[in-house]
Amino acid sequence: MKKLNSQKGFTLIELLIVIAIIAVLAVAFLPSLLGAPAKARDTQRTAQLNKIAGFLLSKSLGGTSLPATSACIDPAGVTPSIGFLINSNLPDFAGNFPKDPKAILPTTSAVPDCNKDVATTNMYGYVKYDGTNAKKYSAAVYSAVEVPGNANIKCGDIGAAKDPTISPGLTLAPADTGCYIVPVQ
């Protein structure tokens, strides 16, 4: 006659092994899950900056002069600012003025006042080059990024008189703030 085993369930060792496996997986994947919102905001920033740069290029090619001074891209901007130009053409931006999804305070040599304003209004930056740079960029739009690997320039290197050195996958020092810049030719 067969003996029936009346014990049902898991042993303590089996439960501890399952808990250990779950803990190892959580430790491995948690950092990537926590960084996902920042990466998504950076993706939104770069898409909006590319759209603004394309818009400025098309306006420039169409005969519209870009503003001669570096400034924040302010939705309340008056002519001849970039904000005024965008507000005058909101259908090109699906009816919404492009704003940074979560402002970060970049330290740049381009627009000192923008550093103060960007914290409350989520504005992107615009820098006008003087035409003496080697790459012949006429202007650029930029924003600080949250994930250092998404930066292509140090924020401190953005300046009206400087030739921007754009490096995808830029390695930043801990004290540096990373920015993403899109030049307009």
**Does some domain include residue 24?**
no
User: What is the pLDDT at residue 5?
Assistant: 62
Query: 82 in a domain, yes or no?
Result: yes
In a domain, 20, yes or no: no
Query: Does the pLDDT value for residue 81 go beyond 70?
Result: yes
Confidence category of residue 112, pLDDT binned at 50, 70, 90: very low
86 within a domain of the structure (yes/no):
yes
Closest alpha carbon to 97 in 107, 87, 105: 87
> Does 17 reside within a domain?
no
Q: How far is the C-alpha of 151 from the C-alpha of 105, rounded, in Å?
A: 14
Q: Is residue 141 part of a domain?
A: yes
CB 37 within 8 A of CB 146: no
Reply yes or no: is the peptide bond before residue 168 cis, omega within 30 of 0.
no
Residue 19 lies in a domain: no
Retrieve residue 88's tokens. 């005058």
ω into 112 cis (within 30 of 0): no
Which pTM was predicted? 0.73
Domain extent at residue 132:
36-184
Domain count, the chain: 1
Is residue 72 situated within a structural domain?
A: yes
